[in-house]
Structure 1
Amino acid sequence: MLSPCCALGSAPPSSPARLCSRRKTGLAEGRSTSASRREMAQGGPSRLPRRPRASAGPTGSGSSGEAGKDACLFPALVAAALGGPADHISNYDVLDTLPSSSSATLQLARPVLGPAARRSGSSTQRVVLKMLRVPCAGGQAASAAQRALREAEMMRALPASAHLLELLSVFCMPSADGSAHVLVLVLPYYPHGSLADELGLRMRRQPARPYSEDEVRTVLRDLAHALAVAHDARIVHRDVKPENVLRADDGHLLLADFGLATRIDTLPQGKQKARAEEERDDTLCGTPLYLSP
C-alpha cells in the first residue's frame, strides 16, 4: 500500500539524512570533500566541513537573514516578508498526522474557511499542513527561523507550474507550550504519495524492470520541466530525489520540498565579478545518496 504521506520534507528511515554545508574553495578543502565522498560510497559517515554562521549574502534572502537575527520577531517578519490573506489554524479541521521528519510535522487537514478553502473551491479538498518549529530562544533559534522563512519565500517566489508543488497559504502560530513559533505551510495533498513510494511498490512486483523506457522518459521530462521553471526564477532546489517527487491524480509528477532551495542572484560584472568569484563559498547541499559525483 502506498504511504499516505506526500513526502514533504520527510525521508524513509533507511535514507541518509540530507545535509547542507559550506566549504571554502581551495585544494585542501577539495581533498577533504573527496575523502568525504569516498566514505559515503563505502557506507561510512560523511565528514563535511562545519558550516559557518549563516549571513545574508549573494545567494541569501534579505528577509530570511533578518529572521536569523531575532527569532522573537519571527511572526512580524513572516507577515512582512510573505504577506497574503490572513490565515489561522482554526480554519482547518485536522484529520490525521502523516509520517513526518525531524525537521517538520505533517498533518492531513480539510480547509473549512480562509484562503486555502477559497482556492481549493471545495470544503472536501484535503491539504497538508507542514509545520516548521522555530524556537523562541536557544542556540538553534536563529538558524531555524532563517531556514523556515527561506523555504516559504522560495515557494512563494516560484511561478505557477503543473510540475511544481503549490503553496496554498502560509501562517505563523505559537506552539502548544509557548516555547516556539510554528510556521505552517499549507500544501495540496496527493494521496498517491511520492515517486519513492511508487518505486518501492514496483520493485517488489517486478524487480528486474520496475519502469519501462517510456515511463522513464516521462519521469525525466516532468522533472526537467519543473527544474527549468524553477531555474528561470533563479531558484535552485538542491535536493532532488524520489522522496521529493509527488505523483498527481492525473499521473504527472511534481517537484516538492524546497527546504534546501536557494535563490541565485545575478553576479556582478567586470572586476567586481572576479572578486566575488574569488571570495565566494562553494555550497554542498542535498542527501548524500543522491549527490552528483
Structure 2
Amino acid sequence: MLQEVYLIQEFIEGKDLTNEICPGKKFSEAEVIQLLRDVLEILVYVHDNKVIHRDIKPDNIMRRKDGKLVLIDFGAIKQINTTTAMKSGSTTRTIRISTPGYTPLEQAMGKPKFSSDIYALGMTVYQYY
C-alpha cells in the first residue's frame, strides 16, 4: 500500500528576514541577541520533536506583523530516529539539502545533526551584526 505524506503550512502574513538586511545597516548587539533568542526558542520545539530543519536562512524566517518570528519551509526536514541516533552518536546519511553559505560541513556531507541548524542560525545572524 502506497502512503503519501502531505506537509501543510500555515500562511504567515509578514516578511522574511531578507527584507531586514540592507547594505550598510547593522543590528545592535541587543537586536541580534533578541533574534537569536526568538529563533532558538523555535528550534528547541523543533528539535524536541526530533526534527532537523536543514535549511535555516533569512528567507525561511518570517517576521509577522506583530513582530514575532516564525520558522517556515519545513520541506527539507529530517526526522531523527532517537534509538539509531543514540547508538551511533549521529544521524544516518541523507540526501543533501542546503543553501550554500549556511550549511555546515556535516550536513554538506549528508549527515545533518541538530547542531547543523544552530550553525545555520549563526551564519544567518552573522549577516546582521
Partner of 2:114: none
- The correspondence of residues 155-194 of structure 1 with structure 2, limited to 5 A, is 185=8, 187-190=10-13, 192-194=14-16
The answer to whether the aligner puts 1:230 opposite 2:46 as a matched pair is: yes
Partner of 2:59: 243
Q: Deviation at 1:249?
A: 1.7
Q: Which amino acid aligns with 2:59?
A: E
2:12–2:62 Cα contact (<8 Å) kept: no
Partner of 2:103: 291
Question: Taking structure 2 as the reference length, what is the TM-score of the superposition?
Answer: 0.66
Q: Which amino acid aligns with 1:236?
A: I
Structure 1 counterpart of 2:81, from 265, 276, 283: 265
Q: Deviation at 1:262?
A: 1.8
Greater RCO (CA < 8 Å, at least 6 residues apart): 2
Structure 1 counterpart of 2:31, from 215, 234, 253: 215
Partner of 1:29: none
2:60–2:72 Cα contact (<8 Å) kept: yes
| Runs of at least 5 residues in structure 1 that lack an aligned partner in the other structure | 1-62, 68-76, 78-148, 153-184
Between structures 1 and 2, the one with greater strand share: 1
Partner of 2:18: 196
Q: Which amino acid aligns with 2:83?
A: L
**CA distance in structure 2 between the aligned counterparts of 1:234 and 1:257, rounded to whole angstroms:** 17
1:129-149 alpha-carbon deviations (Å, 9 max, x no partner):
xxxxxxxxxxxxxxxxxxxx3
- The correspondence of residues 127-146 of structure 1 with structure 2, limited to 5 A, is none
**4+ aligned runs moved over 6 Å, structure 1:** none
SS in 2 for 1:290: coil
1:163-205 alpha-carbon deviations (Å, 9 max, x no partner):
xxxxxxxxxxxxxxxxxxxxxx452231x31001221xxx24x
| Runs of at least 5 residues in structure 2 that lack an aligned partner in the other structure | 106-129
Percent identical residues: 31
1:96-140 alpha-carbon deviations (Å, 9 max, x no partner):
xxxxxxxxxxxxxxxxxxxxxxxxxxxxxxxxxxxxxxxxxxxxx
Question: Taking structure 1 as the reference length, what is the TM-score of the superposition?
Answer: 0.32
1:197-248 alpha-carbon deviations (Å, 9 max, x no partner):
221xxx24xx0x4211111111111111111100101011000000000001
Q: Deviation at 1:289?
A: 2.2
**CA distance in structure 2 between the aligned counterparts of 1:212 and 1:289, rounded to whole angstroms:** 22
- Rg bigger for which structure? 1
2:51–2:78 Cα contact (<8 Å) kept: yes
SS in 2 for 1:259: helix
Q: How much is the aligned-residue C-alpha RMSD, in angstroms? A: 2.9
**CA distance in structure 1 between the aligned counterparts of 2:30 and 2:85, rounded to whole angstroms:** 44
SS in 1 for 2:101: helix
